[in-house]
Structure 1
Amino acid sequence: MKKNKLAPSLLAITIILVSVLFMGASCSATTAKVSNAVMTTSVDDNSMPTDTVTEFPVNTDVYVAAELHNAPDDTNITFIWFFEGQEVDSVTINNGDVSDAPLWGILPAELVTKPGYYGVEIYIDDREDPDTKTEFTVK
C-alpha cells in the first residue's frame, strides 16, 4: 500500500491558513505609517508646519503636523487629543487615494480653555497603539 506523503503537508498548510484568517480580523496589515509629528501654531498652503513649538497660550488653536507614508487607498487616520490624560476630542480623516503626504490636525481654541499638559495621539486604521504621540503645554 502506498502512503500519501502530501496529506500531512496539506493539513499543516490548511491549519496555518485558517489561523491567519482568524487573526486577520484583529490585526492591521497596512504598511501605512505616520512620522515626524510636530506641534505648530499653523500650517501653510502645502500643509506644512509654519513653526515648531511646545507651548501654547490658552484659547488658541493648536495644530499638529506630520507625514503620512505608504498608505493604501482609504486609510483612516485618527487624531485623539488629551488634556491631563482625559480625551477632549477625536477626529478621523481618510487619505482617499493619497499614499504619501503631509497631514495635520487641529484642536480648536474652544477646547483649549485651561492651562496644563495636553497631548495628541495619531492612529492608523484600527491599530491599538498610536503611530505617534506628541505632548505640549498650555499656559
Structure 2
Amino acid sequence: MSKSKLITAIAMVAAHDGYRRAGIDLVKGENKLEVTEAQFAQLDADPRISVQRVAESKSSTSQSTGGDKKEPTKVTFDAEAPDELDLSKFEPEGLAHYVAAIHAQHKAGKLELNADGKPSVGDLAVEVDGKTVKPSATDRDTVWEGYKALIGA
C-alpha cells in the first residue's frame, strides 16, 4: 500500500455493533479512528454516523481496522449547575433542547467531558417529534459555549 496521510477522527455511530462503512468495522457509540480522506468522506456521508476530524496524523502505510472502541479521556466540569436555566436567553433557539440535555446531565452529576473539554455528541442525543436526534460537532460546540455563558462558567 502506498503512503497516505491519515486523519484522526471520532465517529459517533447510531447503528449496531459491527456496522461496516468505508472498509471499517464500527461499534455503536464512539469510535476513534485513523482514516484516509476518502474514508472520512464515506463516513461523513452516512446519516447513521456523525464524524468529527480530530487532528491530522502522520503519514503511514497502514490503515486502521476500526472496531477498537477506545474510551476517551474524561475531563471534569467544576462549575456549579444552577437549579433553573433561562433558555429564552439562548441563541440559536433551535438548539435549546441540546442545552437542556447538557443541563440535565450537569444537575444529575453525569456530565462527562472528552479530552477537549466538551460533552460527546452522542451524549447530547434527544428525542424531537418522536425521533432521536443529536447535534453536529459544530452545533455541539455552539451549545457548549452557550451553556457555559448561561451559567457564568
TM over 0.5: same fold?
A: no
Q: Which has the higher contact order (CA 8 A, sep 6+)?
A: 1
Per the shorter chain, which TM-score range?
A: under 0.3
Question: Going by fraction, where is helix more abundant, 1 or 2?
Answer: 2
* Higher strand proportion (structure 1 or 2): 1
* Higher-Rg member (1/2): 1
